[in-house]
Structure 1
Amino acid sequence: MDSSTNQPDLSKTLASIVDKRGKRNVFRRHPFLWGGGLLIVAVLAAMSWYSRGTQYSYTEKPLTKGMLSITVSATGTVQPTEQVDVSSELSGTVRTVLVDYNSFVARGDVLATLDIDTINTNIESSKSKLLASRARVVQSQATLAAKRNAFERMTALQDSRVSSVRELDVAKSEYDSAVAALDVANAEVAVSEAELQVNETSLRKSKIISPIDGVVLSRSVDPGATVAAAFQAPVLFKLAGNLKRMELQVNVDEADVGLVKPEQDATFNVDAYPDRTFPAKIVNIRFQPETVSNVVTYKAMLAVDNEDLALRPGMTATAYINVKEVKDALLVPNAALRFTPPNEPAKAEAATPADQTPATPDAVKKEAGALRNVWVLRGGKPEKLELRTGATDGRNTIVLSGEIKAGDQVIVAASTPPK
């Protein structure tokens, strides 16, 4: 029955009820009640007609056979495989700076020099002290020889009873003093030599040398600047090793770290090249946890080839680590698992776009081995089928069992035609 025949019948029924209850006088005194009642009747009739007359069109997709890759996503930064902070062990004034940002350097290259006037003065002073010490050694040796001869003569005379015991004691004391004086002179030579070596070492350290082959990432010193290394050695340069081999350091969630293993392949993207995907390989997963806001992660290191130097240190990256691959699997679109016909109760699942990024293993654990429903068109009407599903990558899910095969169409969406 359509809406045009419903309205008179319902109106007559309403009027007859009112007549039976003897309420005609109420409607006569309040005519607006007639209008309100008729409006309610019209709305109910329209809803009844719309529910019977709404038609839906369905979008279908086929089940496919193929490989399913499960990935773990993690974020991190691109870093050099080798990075060194170059400092100065000496305090002084910077005389020259020979490199700048992005300068390529080799091991042993001079990066900067300090003022050496004071060091040269100290070296000359040390050399003079060393010469004087050596001269005192020669003098002490001569004195010792004379005192030895005098002592030996006194000993011979004492044996002949020509000299007195007192004279022998004096000769012995002078000889012992000469021996001690020679020892002191030799010690002074050693001190002077050590002082000279210290000053010569300072002269060598006045040249800031590159310890590695690489590139200058940062320079924090200019000619004329004062370097104070008394308490803590200041960082003058940051050097990175070979930038053609980089390292991606990502933070893997504790829920996913059990799936990540060395030698697994991965891909990653950086904001600088949104249309480019870079390959990488897991090298190591550190045992040391990192906790930020009660979230525990573990650092994973990935080797990255950077032959074209497109990647720069510090770039933020999102990595997808391939932790599992299933070949020749029967795959159902995830949109079909989320679909519910309009007249059916909605599933208690969060709707996710069909082209979402690969799922994390949390989703894999949630859906693995679960009983799920899909809908197929039979006789123009949706019919429910129950499937047992396996792992998912966020776009497709493995079908473990069910009355369905590759090529069968499943409903992924419903829509009403435009009026």
Structure 2
Amino acid sequence: MTDDSTDISRLIAGTGKSRSPWLWGAAIAAVLALGGAGWWMTARNSVATVSYDTAAVTRGALTVTVTATGTVQPTTKVDLSSELSGTLVAVGVDYNDKVTKGQELARLDDTKTRAQVANAEASVAAARARVTQAEATATENAATYDLAKQLEKRGVTARRDFISTDAEYRRSQAAVDIARADLTVAEANLELARADLENSVIRAPIDGIVLSRTAEVGQIVASSLNAPVLFTLAGDLAKMDLQVDIDEADIGRIATGNEATFTVDAFPGRSFPARIAQVRYAPETTDNVVTYKAVLTVENPDGLLRPGMTATAAITVASVDDSLIIPNAALRYAPPQTASASRGGSGLLGLIMPRRGPGGPSATADGKSVWVLRDGTPVNIPVTPGETDGRQTAITADGLTQGDAVITDQSVAQ
């Protein structure tokens, strides 16, 4: 500030006796400005201090998980309708009933089907009789044919008579084939009628439990492509599936066999183990968000989990047993850039454009080094990042040990 004062003094002295009042005012204002600016910069530079936020380097295990939501479902679930049209005359089970394979659940009126079975049985009996009749005729004609053939060789029978006998014999053989074919058709129709009679009783196809029931006595059931679901059965609920939606950004880390734990709202604070059994390739798009279905197997021996429960799963995709661990903020930290002394001028120009003080823009962190505070001074140490859970990262570094204080942020106090 001495050079500026000298310049002003010379300006004042150079005016001599011709000094005017406006020059005196300008000189006084300049002196006051110089004094105020000098005081401000001296105070600013003297009280600015930098403090660092640090975190200790730890050593231990790190588990990386992917979070997904889904629902608990039975391993096997079957919707039952009726193959026949008719009226329900009996319903034998209700909600939550345990059933065994082949057990009767409901029964249709079987009056018509029983009559159809009786009709088919009569047709089979008639067809068998026709086969017997045709075979007897064929046997008779065969004997007649043999005799006619011998006589024809001896020249006793006319050739015309032998041709007639031969044709009759062949017709009787064909009649046997026709009768046997008719018997096959009749037997097939009997099987169809018996199948319809059997299907008039709706039976459980699996061992399990009744999840839902819409069947009522007197209800008319129509067999069609849109036949109503009468029963929904679930398999053994001691083993269940958890079907979750995996975001496409995480699907590359998910694999069959990954261990997982999940929670449900019904039992807060309790987690259940699971394992991925299948990761499906088919995408599912909802509101332009692509996900992939993963199926996890769940043991449910106590029956606490119920079909349809919403679950939040944490799937373990990677783990580190023993490694140095630092917070991710340490990899994102970089100290502010230091302004060069040439940025600020001297004299009046220096007052107008002073040099930059602490708290300037930060350098760009590359994620491959950290700053460690040692004896109050930041020291840069290269590291090799490994697995991360989003908050912490496992690293390897030669110049870093457990307990070192890595810098995560800083603040400037005036």
- When normalised by structure 1's length, the TM-score is 0.67
Q: 1:241-271: CA deviations, max 9, x gaps?
A: 2211222222223332332233322212222
Q: 1:214-255: CA deviations, max 9, x gaps?
A: 222222322222332244665432222221122222222333
Gap runs ≥5 in structure 1: 1-15, 22-47, 350-365
Instruction: Quote the residue 1:210 is aligned against.
Output: 204
The answer to whether the aligner puts 1:407 opposite 2:403 as a matched pair is yes
The answer to whether the aligner puts 1:278 opposite 2:247 as a matched pair is no
Matching residue within 238, 241, 264 for 2:235: 241
Gap runs ≥5 in structure 2: 1-20, 27-41, 336-357
Q: Which residue identity lines up with residue 313 of structure 1 in the other structure? A: P
Instruction: Quote the residue 2:117 is aligned against.
Output: 123
Instruction: Quote the residue 2:187 is aligned against.
Output: 193
CA gap of 1:331–1:172, structure 2 versus 1, over 3 A, is closer
Instruction: Quote the residue 1:9 is aligned against.
Output: none
Q: Which residue identity lines up with residue 304 of structure 2 in the other structure? A: A
Q: 1:197-230: CA deviations, max 9, x gaps?
A: 2111211222222222222222232222233224
Work out the CA distance in 2 between the residues paired with 1:399 and 1:139. Answer: 95
Q: 1:122-155: CA deviations, max 9, x gaps?
A: 1111222223333344444555566666777777
Q: Shift of residue 299 of structure 1? A: 2.6
Q: Shift of residue 119 of structure 1? A: 0.6
Instruction: Quote the residue 1:78 is aligned against.
Output: 72
Instruction: Quote the residue 1:257 is aligned against.
Output: 251
The answer to whether the aligner puts 1:90 opposite 2:84 as a matched pair is yes
Q: Which residue identity lines up with residue 202 of structure 2 in the other structure? A: I
Instruction: Quote the residue 2:392 is aligned against.
Output: 396
Instruction: Quote the residue 2:221 is aligned against.
Output: 227
Work out the CA distance in 2 between the residues paired with 1:153 and 1:57. Answer: 129
Work out the CA distance in 2 between the residues paired with 1:298 and 1:122. Answer: 51
Work out the CA distance in 2 between the residues paired with 1:326 and 1:184. Answer: 80
Work out the CA distance in 1 between the residues paired with 2:165 and 2:393. Answer: 108
Instruction: Quote the residue 1:64 is aligned against.
Output: 58
Classify the secondary structure of the residue corresponding to 1:135. helix
Instruction: Quote the residue 2:10 is aligned against.
Output: none
For the Cα contact (< 8 Å) 2:57–2:324, is it kept in 1? Answer: yes
Classify the secondary structure of the residue corresponding to 1:297. strand
CA gap of 1:283–1:176, structure 2 versus 1, over 3 A, is closer
For the Cα contact (< 8 Å) 2:88–2:219, is it kept in 1? Answer: yes
For the Cα contact (< 8 Å) 2:371–2:406, is it kept in 1? Answer: no
Classify the secondary structure of the residue corresponding to 2:230. strand
Q: Which residue identity lines up with residue 403 of structure 2 in the other structure? A: G
For the Cα contact (< 8 Å) 1:76–1:248, is it kept in 2? Answer: yes
Q: 1:9-53: CA deviations, max 9, x gaps?
A: xxxxxxx99x948xxxxxxxxxxxxxxxxxxxxxxxxxx999999
The alignment's C-alpha RMSD in Å is 4.6
For the Cα contact (< 8 Å) 1:77–1:315, is it kept in 2? Answer: yes
Instruction: Quote the residue 1:371 is aligned against.
Output: 369
CA gap of 1:137–1:338, structure 2 versus 1, over 3 A, is closer
CA gap of 1:183–1:399, structure 2 versus 1, over 3 A, is closer
Classify the secondary structure of the residue corresponding to 1:329. strand
For the Cα contact (< 8 Å) 2:373–2:405, is it kept in 1? Answer: no
Q: Shift of residue 173 of structure 1? A: 5.7
Q: Which residue identity lines up with residue 123 of structure 1 in the other structure? A: V
Q: 1:150-201: CA deviations, max 9, x gaps?
A: 7777778888988877766666665555555444443333322222121112
Q: Which residue identity lines up with residue 184 of structure 2 in the other structure? A: A
| More displaced 10-residue stretch of structure 1: 231-240 or 62-71 | 231-240
Instruction: Quote the residue 2:355 is aligned against.
Output: none
Classify the secondary structure of the residue corresponding to 2:252. helix
Q: Which residue identity lines up with residue 315 of structure 1 in the other structure? A: M
Work out the CA distance in 1 between the residues paired with 2:319 and 2:147. Answer: 102
- When normalised by structure 2's length, the TM-score is 0.68
| More displaced 10-residue stretch of structure 1: 201-210 or 58-67 | 58-67
For the Cα contact (< 8 Å) 1:65–1:328, is it kept in 2? Answer: yes
Matching residue within 77, 92, 98 for 1:104: 98
Instruction: Quote the residue 2:312 is aligned against.
Output: 318
Between the two proteins, what is the percent identity of the paired residues? 43
For the Cα contact (< 8 Å) 1:387–1:399, is it kept in 2? Answer: no
For the Cα contact (< 8 Å) 1:73–1:321, is it kept in 2? Answer: yes
